[in-house]
Chains A and B, each alone.
Chain A
Amino acid sequence: KAGVTQTPRYLIKTRGQQVTLSCSPISGHRSVSWYQQTPGQGLQFLFEYFSETQRNKGNFPGRFSGRQFSNSRSEMNVSTLELGDSALYLCASSFTGGYTDTQYFGPGTRLTVL
């Protein structure tokens, strides 16, 4: 079956702009989580959506937001971009999002903020 897909794969923006990233989970998966990966901070949890509701949230400012649609596809938005937002943004899907449930990661979106 098809894996998790993320679009776009690469993105270049300038400070102050906003960006929307998209994630299509594996068919049948209802939980989608987003992570930010940087060389300095590693992989950090942003938020998790399940059945169109945000269920968990990490320690990121309100500029980072997300949503999930009825088909489980998810988007995350970052407003007023800062240089420090340059990172690899990963999404992961699972059936239920429970801690014993395997999360499958997409290839990520590489965001560069100039």
Chain B
Amino acid sequence: TQLLEQSPQFLSIQEGENLTVYCNSSSVFSSLQWYRQEPGEGPVLLVTVVTGGEVKKLKRLTFQFGDARKDSSLHITAAQPGDTGLYLCAGAPGNTGKLIFGQGTTLQVKP
């Protein structure tokens, strides 16, 4: 069974701080996705990483896919209160559309 483990589970920081969220697996994934979910809403896709070693940037968010395609990280620079939410990594085992999700990281950014 392919599992995705996220760490940390909870993160409470002050506005302006940097943070990194990790998503690890013992299995290889063809791609990994990162979502953000806000209360009362469904997850919204932030990025998909496909190539081992790939780095993608989305404003202050930097996503990296491990060389072996077993792990990924999300780094936020100078966090803002608007970044508050649940961050989820997800992958599709067997190249299907069936997504498995990590447990999520709840981020709270205090002004």
**Which of A58, A100, A104 lies at the interface centre, i.e. has the most chain B CB atoms within 10 A of its CB?**
A100
| Cross-interface CB contact of B45 among A33, A98, A102, A108, cutoff 8 Å | A102
User: Residues of A with Cβ closer than 8 Å to B?
Assistant: 4, 31, 33, 35, 42-45, 48, 55-56, 58, 90, 92, 94, 96-108
Known contacts A43-B88, A90-B42; A103/B97 CB under 8 A:
yes
Q: Does the CB pair B48–A102 fall under 8 Å?
A: yes
Q: Does B40 contact A (CB under 8 A)?
A: yes
Q: Does the CB pair B103–A31 fall under 8 Å?
A: no
Q: Does the CB pair B97–A105 fall under 8 Å?
A: no
| Cross-interface CB contact of A45 among B41, B95, B99, cutoff 8 Å | B99
Q: Does B85 contact A (CB under 8 A)?
A: no
CA distance A98 to B44 in the complex (A): 17
CA distance A99 to B32 in the complex (A): 10
Q: Does the CB pair A105–B96 fall under 8 Å?
A: no
* Residues of chain A contacted by B88 (CB below 8 angstroms): 42-43
Q: Does the CB pair B98–A45 fall under 8 Å?
A: yes
Known contacts A42-B103, A105-B42, A108-B42; A98/B98 CB under 8 A:
no
| Cross-interface CB contact of B44 among A43, A55, A105, cutoff 8 Å | A105
Q: Does the CB pair A105–B92 fall under 8 Å?
A: no
With both beta carbons as reference points, the residue of chain A lying nearest to B94 in the complex is identified as A99
Q: Does B18 contact A (CB under 8 A)?
A: no
CA distance A17 to B83 in the complex (A): 39
Q: Chain B 32-74, CB within 8 Å of chain A: the 1/0 string?
A: 0000000011111100101000000000000000000000000
**Which of B31, B40, B96, B99 lies at the interface centre, i.e. has the most chain A CB atoms within 10 A of its CB?**
B99
Give the shortest distance, in Å, between A47 (CB) and chain B (any CB).
Answer: 9
Q: Does the CB pair B98–A107 fall under 8 Å?
A: no
CA distance A1 to B25 in the complex (A): 36
Q: Does the CB pair A58–B98 fall under 8 Å?
A: yes
